[in-house]
Amino acid sequence: CVSDGTGAQNDIGNCGSAEGYTNGMLVSDFNGDGISDYYDTGILYLSNNGKLENKSISNLPDMFFSDHIGRVFVHDADDGDADGDGDLDIFLPIFDSTQFNYMIDGSYAGCEGCNEPLPWVMLMNDGLGNFTANTNFNVPQPLSDGSVLWATTAAIGDFDNDGFGDVAVGWFQPGQSATFSQTYENSAGAVFWNDGQNDW
């Protein structure tokens, strides 16, 4: 399931949509059994009695296995406790779009060649390594020419000490940040605060 990036045949039935996309790899204890597990975009291996088992399809959101979305790219990812419940969640500042002609919900986009940017995602852990997708991020919107302010670094931390995980990102091209919003003028990155309701 872990691709070498050379374009080997993607086995979506077992491995998720991750062929060639091996950024954002994480090794942490996601199911709380004291043994390290492995995560890589649409791939999840969890420990079970001393063995790592592929739990990608059963434990990750459907978005990683949807034909209208396809492979999902992140430049970086991080794990941490986003919702204050003591387990490890996963932050993905996704830099990708749906497949051409499709919207995020799988419907027709209304024009040939159109698509829709994918949102940033916090994969919320139930403590046993089952993840649901939270997309409640107030991020800069794409410009009319399709340009996106791309986050290439990611971190989860409780930066304001309120018990909830905030996220920090660094921009790929900080010099362009002001074109997206005055909020991001002269910005090499940003911190998105968790309001306590898992909205950032």
* pLDDT score of 135 more than 60: yes
Predicted TM-score (pTM) of the model is: 0.85
Quick one: pLDDT at residue 161? Answer: 94
Say how far apart CA 145 and CA 147 lie, in whole Å: 6
d(CA 63, CA 78): 19
pLDDT mean over 93-108? 85
Higher pLDDT, residue 73 or 48: 48
Q: What are phi and psi of 163, to 5 degrees?
A: 95, 0
Q: Find the radius of gyration of the CA atoms of the chain.
A: 17
Q: Is the pLDDT of residue 19 over 60?
A: no
Sign of CA dihedral 104, 106, 107, 113: positive
24-28, 97-101, 166-170: the lowest-pLDDT one: 97-101
Confidence bin at 186 (pLDDT 50/70/90): confident
Higher pLDDT, 42 or 91: 91
